[in-house]
Amino acid sequence: MAAAAGGGSCFVLGASGQTGRALLRELLARRLFARVTLVGRRRLSLGEEAEAAVEQAVVDFERLSEHAAAFQGHDVGFCCLGTTRAEAGEAGFVRVDRDYVVQAAELARAGGCRHFVLQSSRGANRHSGFLYLRVKGEVEDLVQAVGFDHCTIFRPAVLLCKREESRPAEWVAQKFLGVVARVFPTAYSVPVETVARAMVAIVLQPGEGKVEVLENKTIHELGKAVPQQGT
């Protein structure tokens, strides 16, 4: 979809999360799509204006096939879904970060979606000895195999954001990398707002190939190419 501005339809998985919220702000402020559907496990309170601008489909991810209608008729699907092993346990992490994502991608494709944008992670590799990176590698491969016209995989490094939920290791990494980012801005981290702007950029101008994998530095470059709101 080279020119989404003002028309078309998209859905967002994970709109209540750090990246998802930043993405939703971008989508609404830029009015990129005529129809924006948030697919999540709970209804979100977004304020009157935003709530009027989006549709919300509350789904049971354990019975996703019963919610095919939520994935019907979208041009673009954004996936910022994810949990942690600490939060969900090993099996729960695999279920959310791989199985829910792949099932949603399949339903979206069946519903006519042409461009799927998946937020994965730096280092994703299905052969990795680390569960997190292995599952990210697996989900990348499985989503690619769904056969979208365009599939864009984002591989951000550590996300810089203001998270309310307590994730001590991530908090320490963010504090440290926030300082490092002043010297090496694109090397080890990326603000969620930059990721969101890069997602907008890639939808407006998808690459030539069917599958595109964007590493952290490219995410920074793409994010910078889209003017910030209010500038």
Ligand X SMILES: NC(=O)c1ccc[n+]([C@@H]2O[C@H](COP(=O)([O-])OP(=O)(O)OC[C@H]3O[C@@H](n4cnc5c(N)ncnc54)[C@H](OP(=O)(O)O)[C@@H]3O)[C@@H](O)[C@H]2O)c1
Q: Which is nearer to ligand X, 65 or 231 (CB)?
A: 65
CA angle, 193 then 194 then 197, to 5°: 85
Q: Which is nearer to ligand X, 34 or 172 (CB)?
A: 172
Q: Which is nearer to ligand X, 66 or 208 (CB)?
A: 66
Q: Catalytic residues, which ones? A: 132, 136
Residue 199: half-sphere exposure toward Cβ, Cα within 13 Å: 35
Sign of dihedral through CA atoms 224, 148, 80, 49? positive
CB atoms within 10 A of CB 123: 14
Question: In the bound complex, what is the minimum distance in angstroms from residue 91's beta carbon to ligand X?
Answer: 11
| 59: amino acid identity, one letter | V
Residues that bind ligand X (CB under 6 A): 14, 16-20, 40-42, 61, 80-83, 96-97, 119, 121, 156, 158-159, 170
In the chain the beta strands, taken as DSSP E runs, fall at: 9-13, 35-40, 55-58, 76-79, 115-119, 150-155, 158-160, 189-191, 211-215
